Amino acid sequence: MSPSRVLVLNSGSSSVKYQLLDMRDGSRLATGLVERIGEQTSRLKHTCAAGGGTREQNGPIADHEAALKAVADELERDGLGLDSPELAAIGHRVVHGGMFFTEPTVIDDAVLTEIERLIPVAPLHNPANLTGIRTARALRPDLPQVAVFDTAFHTTMPEAAARYAIDPKVADRYRIRRYGFHGTSHAYVSRETARLLGKAPEEVNVIVLHLGNGASASAVRGGRCVDTSMGLTPLEGLVMGTRSGDLDPAVIFHLARVGGMSMDEIDTLLNKGSGLFGLCGDNDMREIRRRIDEGDEQAKLAFDIYIHRLKKYIGAYCAVLGRVDAVAFTAGVGENAAPVREAAVAGLEGLGLAVDPEANAVRADGPRLISPTGARVAVAVVPTDEELEIAEQTYALVGSKPGSNHGGADE
């Protein structure tokens, strides 16, 4: 029997999230998270599906290498070790693939060099992703490893959507363009939305609203992305948990010249101290809703600003697509916050958009329609599954060549 397991690794700057999937049915054999890597209070939380329960380890884990070794040990304890012949490949989430990586790619030294070359446009993410890849390759040099890029789905955007209105020579020199992120989620959710409508992805135009702590919208025509709200970095677009999203770029000059702030201070303000958190001190939508219910004006204003921006993007993408078949809400807020979904489409009946209050209030796990029966545009809740998408893309690439040296070893 050929190997059927894929380990998905998502290496952040101080965390590693992982899932081991069985590709015969997409089931999770094990899932886990190592957080606060490099601190005294690191924590590894590991769950084995087959009766192993959840185990937790607390105490310092010095670096990504130690973290991955600890993960490998936990998997080993459950009989799911990295040296298992059942393991077909490791799929890595890589945030920035620039214009170069338009598809999932088997990792070799040249691929690593290219991911490294993209560090200037993804200084927070690509170094951590690279560390994860290098460590995993050291542990299993013979195993195919695949990079799945957050930007890849958006490389189909036409130049008119991908370019900023600045001198192309300057833009090209510094690789400034709109790359977009959350692509794995937008790809998965747009496909699942088509499936929910009983159609092929090629037949439908979908607006995907990925509303998590980070948030982005995309316009997907016939399965191909034609616009998305994040840009050179994940800062552009919607109001997010701690990021401002769109603002007049002159705000930055103003903060520097008049406010005397350094570039690093402005970067921190806009990426970490803005959005819902900057507006009202909370970035969790549950807490914001609770405060609104208690009459908190600041929370209400934060919510209104969040919704106003979301509506603007829905309207814009209706215009970009011309014909819209569905609007899909996904990620933590999109899947769980009925008031956000209701408010986002309120008053958009002219665009064919509405939610049925009863359907919207239902809490369920799977994809579901929340628009009234017979509505011109379907409004749907479609849970995202980035790990499954990464595993599927990885397996599709290497599943037929398990255990080979297919790009997995050092050349």
In 3D space, the residue among 310, 82, 101 whose CA is nearest the CA of residue 217 turns out to be: 310
Distances (CA, A) of 105 to 121, 138, 238, 354, 369: 19, 18, 29, 40, 34
- x/- contact string, 193-222, with ligand ADP (CB under 6 A)? -------------------xxx--------
396 contacts 381 by C-beta, under 8 angstroms: no
Among 95, 152, 235, 331, binds ligand ADP (CB under 6 A): 331
Kindly state whether residue 4 participates in binding ligand ADP, applying the rule CB under 6 A: no
Least spacing, CB of residue 384 vs ligand ADP, in Å: 8
Identity of the residue, 74 or 387, whose beta carbon is nearer to ligand ADP in the bound complex: 387
64 contacts 131 by C-beta, under 8 angstroms: yes
Kindly state whether residue 348 participates in binding ligand ADP, applying the rule CB under 6 A: no
Kindly state whether residue 102 participates in binding ligand ADP, applying the rule CB under 6 A: no
> How many residues touch ligand ADP (CB under 6 A)?
13
The span of 93-101, 163-171, 219-227, 328-336 binding ligand ADP (CB under 6 A) equals 328-336
Among 30, 162, 337, 353, binds ligand ADP (CB under 6 A): 337
Least spacing, CB of residue 236 vs ligand ADP, in Å: 16
Least spacing, CB of residue 89 vs ligand ADP, in Å: 24
Identity of the residue, 48 or 331, whose beta carbon is nearer to ligand ADP in the bound complex: 331
Least spacing, CB of residue 206 vs ligand ADP, in Å: 19
Kindly state whether residue 284 participates in binding ligand ADP, applying the rule CB under 6 A: yes
Kindly state whether residue 33 participates in binding ligand ADP, applying the rule CB under 6 A: no
Among 333, 355, 381, 382, binds ligand ADP (CB under 6 A): 333
Identity of the residue, 241 or 402, whose beta carbon is nearer to ligand ADP in the bound complex: 241
Identity of the residue, 183 or 214, whose beta carbon is nearer to ligand ADP in the bound complex: 214
Identity of the residue, 292 or 369, whose beta carbon is nearer to ligand ADP in the bound complex: 292
Distances (CA, A) of 306 to 15, 198, 279, 300, 312: 28, 32, 10, 10, 10
The span of 7-15, 24-32, 310-318, 329-337 binding ligand ADP (CB under 6 A) equals 329-337
3-state secondary structure the chain: CCCCEEEEEEECCCCEEEEEEECCCCEEEEEEEEECCCCCCCEEEEEECCCCEEEEEECCCCCHHHHHHHHHHHHHHCCCCCCCCCEEEEEEEECCCCCCCCCCEECCHHHHHHHHHCHHHCCCCHHHHHHHHHHHHHHCCCCCEEEEECCHHHHHCCHHHHCCCCCHHHHHHCCCCCCCCCHHHHHHHHHHHHHHCCCCHHHCEEEEEEECCCEEEEEEECCEEEEECCCCCCCCCCCCCCCCCCCCCHHHHHHHHCCCCCHHHHHHHHHHCCHHHHHHCCCCHHHHHHHHHCCCHHHHHHHHHHHHHHHHHHHHHHHHHCCCCEEEEEHHHHHHCHHHHHHHHCCCHHHCCCCCHHHHHCCCCCCEECCCCCCCCEEEECCCCHHHHHHHHHHHHHCCCCCCCCCCCCC
Identity of the residue, 88 or 355, whose beta carbon is nearer to ligand ADP in the bound complex: 355
- x/- contact string, 233-272, with ligand ADP (CB under 6 A)? --------x-------------------------------
Residue sitting closest to ligand ADP (CB): 332
The span of 53-61, 93-101, 171-179, 327-335 binding ligand ADP (CB under 6 A) equals 327-335
Kindly name the residue from 63, 78, 108, 150 that is annotated as catalytic.
Answer: 150
Annotated active-site residue 142? The verdict is no
Separation between Cα atoms, residue 114 and residue 31, nearest integer Å: 29
Among 77, 199, 254, 286, binds ligand ADP (CB under 6 A): 286
Kindly state whether residue 336 participates in binding ligand ADP, applying the rule CB under 6 A: yes
Kindly state whether residue 183 participates in binding ligand ADP, applying the rule CB under 6 A: no
Q: Which residues are catalytic?
A: 150
Residues contributing to the site for ligand ADP (CB under 6 A): 212-214, 241, 283-286, 331-333, 336-337
